[in-house]
């Protein structure tokens, strides 16, 4: 994820919270430590790892078929900023998209 700091002061990002849902089934949710300071009027790229819960694949597959081989994917990325000893979380990305298959014709 790339973040631009439009402020006149550095912004310390301590971690990034991520959420991945497919057809409302929560495949991943958690936080990754990123420990990055974004300098004023500049951007930084945050690299993180998301672990998907593969045990939910069967449940998702049933929902995909019941929806006519259609899946709505939702991804939310929320960096955590530490300022004056407190943590603040904001939404950087909240994106939804749909993918279709035609496996069963």
Ordered DSSP codes for the chain = -EEEE-SSS-EEEEEEEEEEEETTEEEEEEEEEEEEEEPTTEEEE--------GGGHHHHHHHHHHTTSEEEEEEEEEEEEEETTEEEE--SEEEEEEEE--S--
Percent of the chain with pLDDT over 90: 87
Residue 60 has phi, psi (to 5 degrees) of: -65, -45
Q: Identify the band that residue 95 occupies on the pLDDT scale cut at 50, 70 and 90.
A: very high
Give residue 1's pLDDT band: very low, low, confident or very high (50, 70, 90). Answer: confident
Phi/psi for 57 (5° steps) reads -60, -40
Question: What is the pLDDT confidence band of residue 73, given thresholds at 50, 70 and 90?
Answer: very high
Q: What confidence tens digit (pLDDT) does each residue in 33-60 have?
A: 999 999 999 999 988 889 999 999 999 9
**Domains of the chain (ranges, CATH numbers):** 2-52+73-95 (2.60.40.10)
pLDDT in tens, 10-24: 999 999 999 999 999
Mean of pLDDT over the chain: 94
């Amino acid at each position: 994820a790339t973040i631009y700091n439009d402020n006149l002061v550095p912004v310390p990002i301590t971690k990034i919270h991520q959420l991945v849902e497919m057809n409302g089934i929560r495949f991943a949710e958690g936080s990754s430590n990123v420990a990055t300071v974004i300098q004023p009027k500049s951007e930084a790229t945050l690299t993180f790892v998301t672990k998907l819960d593969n045990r939910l694949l069967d449940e998702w597959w049933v929902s995909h078929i019941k929806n006519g081989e259609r899946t709505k994917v939702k991804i939310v990325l929320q960096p955590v900023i530490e300022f004056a000893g407190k943590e603040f979380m904001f939404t950087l990305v909240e994106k939804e998209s749909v993918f279709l298959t035609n496996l069963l014709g």
